[in-house]
A and B are shown apart, each in its own frame.
Chain A
Amino acid sequence: NAGVMQNPRHLVRRRGQEARLRCSPMKGHSHVYWYRQLPEEGLKFMVYLQKENIIDESGMPKERFSAEFPKEGPSILRIQQVVRGDSAAYFCASSPPGRIQETQYFGPGTRLLVL
């Protein structure tokens, strides 16, 4: 049973380009969460999605950032027109359906570097 998968593991973009980060949740999990982490800091919540629905995006910047979790395929975190301040590690987590109190399981993260 594979864990949460994220790709790419490392992503380098120049200012103004787009970054697309992918997350495949654990098998059977329908809840996906995205977090951002700066060096030596904790994880900051960005967005919580269920299949085809955004449940809570209160932690996501209003501009340039978007997320989706389609019926088929991975969840995508998209950052348009990246700036240097977007450089960070982005983690995806998933949890099973139904019981919202279930613990989240994290992927290995995507490290975004904006030049």
Chain B
Amino acid sequence: TQLLEQSPQFLSIQEGENLTVYCNSSSVFSSLQWYRQEPGEGPVLLVTVVTGGEVKKLKRLTFQFGDARKDSSLHITAAQPGDTGLYLCAGPPGTNAGKSTFGDGTTLTVKP
């Protein structure tokens, strides 16, 4: 079973600060997905990274896939209260006999 470890588990910052959350594994993934989940809702896909070393930007969010495709990071610039939520990284469904491997997530709170 391929495991994904996310850090930190909890992060509480002030509006305007920058932050980085990490997703690490000892296994190689063909791609990684990042999701954001708000309380009471299902996860919403933010991005899929596919190529080792790839960097994708989504407004103030920057996603990076490690060169060896074993890790990924999410950097948020000038965080806003609307960024508050649970951030999850996941391997694709086909990686592990059909099931998607999820990290336990990083719970981000951005205070106004």
Binding site for B on A (CB under 8 A): 4, 6, 31, 33, 35, 40-45, 48, 55-56, 58-59, 91, 93, 95, 100-109, 111
Contacts and interface: CB of A to CB of B under 8 A. Distances in A.
Contacts of B101: 45
The 3 A-B pairs of least Cβ separation, nearest first, read A100-B94, A106-B42, A45-B99
Interface in B64-112: 86, 88, 90, 92-94, 97-105, 107
A100 B41 contact: no
Contacts of A111: 40
A6 B86 CA distance: 21
B30 interface: yes
A15 B78 CA distance: 47
B48 interface: yes
A101 B50 CA distance: 11
A41 B99 contact: no
B42 A48 contact: no
A56 B45 contact: no
Interface residues of B, number: 28
Contacts of A55: 97-98
Given A40-B107, A95-B93, A103 B98 contact: no
Contacts of A6: 42
Interface in B44-63: 44-45, 48
B1 to A, nearest CB: 9
B86 A31 contact: no
A75 B40 CA distance: 21
Contacts of A35: 102
B88 A101 contact: no
A110 to B, nearest CB: 10
